[in-house]
Chains A and B, each alone.
Chain A
Amino acid sequence: MSSTRFRWFFGEALRSLKTNFATTLAAVVTVLIVLYIFGIGLSLGTYLKSYTDGVKRDLTIKVWLADSATEAQVGDVQKQLLADPRVDGPSLVYVSQEAALREAQKTYSAEVLHLVGGNPFPASFRVKARDARDSAAIARSVEGFPGLEPATSDLPNPDYGAKVADKVLSVARKVELVIGGVAVILGLAAVLLIGNTIRLSIFARRREVEVMKLVGATNWFVRWPFMLEGMIAGTVGALLAAAGLAASSAFMPSVFESAGTIKTSATTAAQAWPLWQIGALLVLAGLGLGAAGSGLTMRRFLRI
């Protein structure tokens, strides 16, 4: 399409948006409302997802080493862990007895530690799984290695936080399912609502389409201005929705603000997708919905 052609089509679209101001307004408001809700859903969804991901990331397998373990035994354990493809290699940390004590000093008061006396903390390996769901299997793979602290009923070794981990994993899976389901429903609602609005506006002008076809316009010649119209209305609606989201985020910083991270635990910092990203996605959605909505709806009326 040459640039003069495009200019003509664009001019047609603008003209028709102006003359059909009421329908334009209806379409823009529909897109605005639908995409605003979709944007809120997206923010909440990505926030929740990020939160559960963070919790999953924090699932650490601790392999306690006996004080009596030889260097060779420790090396075997390390080798076994590193050889496992399910293990996230770089996450492997060796925590010496001294380091463990220093860590404990941050949490517990000096008096408590003094009462215990000496250094009761064993050295350990801490390692994370690439996929949190593999934690249990990894823990089992080094179970019973020589040089490990013997396990007791309330102190399993290796310890991957079985109870917490299982709960976190099942909650995370449900959260993901719910987010996915809500996204699908909201997306579908968006398509149907916007599609319906466009249908109405084109239906109101079907006579015009008929006349255009009768004087020898090709389908694309009729379709282009309508599609551009849809794209313009969709983009304007999406921009307004994004602006609305930005305004809302000022009142609900914990959910929307990309920079505003919440510390739910010492290490979990969940955050929604950054606002600009959600905004960009909304604009793309508005553009696509407008174009596809008008383009597809046109088909019925072009059969003349």
Chain B
Amino acid sequence: MLKRGDEWEDGGEPKEPSVFPPTPPIDRAAAALPSRPVELTATERDAIDRANDDARRRRLDAYAAMAPATGEYERPAEPKNSAMILLENVTKVYPGNVVALDDVSLQIDKGEWVFLVGQSGSGKSTLIKLLLKEIDVSRGNLIVGGRSLSKLRHSKVPQLRRNIGCVFQDFKLLPNRTVEQNVAYALEVQGQRRELIARKVPEIINLVGLSDKVARYPHELSGGQQQRVSIARAFVNHPPLLICDEPTGNLDPDTSIGIMQLLYRIQRTGTTVVMATHDREMVDKMRRRVVALEGGRIVRDDRRGGYVTEDPR
């Protein structure tokens, strides 16, 4: 019980002298924040604006360079047997009657690059979890790489995942392993021979530009470097499908470009890329297929879309 509680409530001074030295009165005028930001000269302001604009233009140019060549999407839609991912009226209901995906049908062809956009809770993550069979569909049919996932036995799930490279926002690296060991793990789980691992791992690490970091641990690397490691791990098997869940979500805009260029190069080898993202600049400039989800439904599916509109130009 506080002895002096009542006195304090009264606002009266404690009767006994305090052991603490008296606090000097605060000089409010001196402590106040300047009411206006520090004044910049016109030339300084211009320099900052110009630098910002330059950085932005460089980024936009970099993304635009990864846009498909004209005519790439002019060919007719491919038949169903060329589908890498096929959703037929897929519904996912979580316990508690939470509908995360509501009767979604979607076809993603081999070699395609697809952005999944939508607010948090729109169903993007659920869709990605379904593709990896972390969770099962409630209704409908989901086919990945020609296999129906609802019919896939649990013992075959590791096999499925070895054919899907995953890149996540939080990198999901093994903290107690070096860069080299993290990448090697993806091969070790398949029981690959040691000679093959010893040959392939440095190759792929070189590809992502981390040759000088092979013996480092994830916590010793920057975010962008960690994401490169995770891409190396995802791609070391050369999987036909690469799933990225906001790969640049934790990275600054300039680092993001490097990551996207890496993924672009991977897609150019024929890999299908499905990427959930919130990066408007990137989606608008890369002019790829955009599937927009909202409340568990597809509200937009553009061949050459933008983040919010059909044609960002």
Contacts and interface: CB of A to CB of B under 8 A. Distances in A.
Contact of A218 (B134, B174, B189): B189
Mostly, the A contact residues are helix
Interface stretch (A167-175, A190-198, A208-216, A247-255): A208-216
B233 interface: yes
Given A5-B191, A218-B158, A212 B174 contact: yes
Contact of A215 (B155, B166, B175, B176): B166
Nearest to A214: B166
A304 B134 contact: yes
Contact of B189 (A15, A207, A217): A217
A80 interface: no
Given A216-B161, A217-B158, A208 B233 contact: no
Contacts of B188: 8
Interface string B193-219: 010000000000000000000000000
B159 interface: yes
B174 A211 contact: yes
Nearest to B159: A216
Interface residues of B, number: 22
A141 interface: no
Contacts of A277: none
Nearest to B168: A214
Interface in B152-180: 155, 158-162, 166, 172-176
Contacts of B241: none
A109 interface: no
A20 B175 CA distance: 12
B153 to A, nearest CB: 12
B264 interface: no
Contacts of A216: 158-162, 186, 189-190
A221 B189 contact: yes
Interface in A7-24: 8, 15-16, 19-20
Interface of A: 4-5, 8, 15-16, 19-20, 207-208, 210-218, 221, 304
Given A207-B172, A215-B166, 19 more contacts: A8-B188, A20-B176, A208-B174, A211-B173, A213-B158, A213-B161, A214-B132, A214-B134, A215-B189, A215-B233, A216-B158, A216-B159, A216-B162, A216-B186, A216-B190, A217-B189, A218-B155, A218-B158, A304-B134
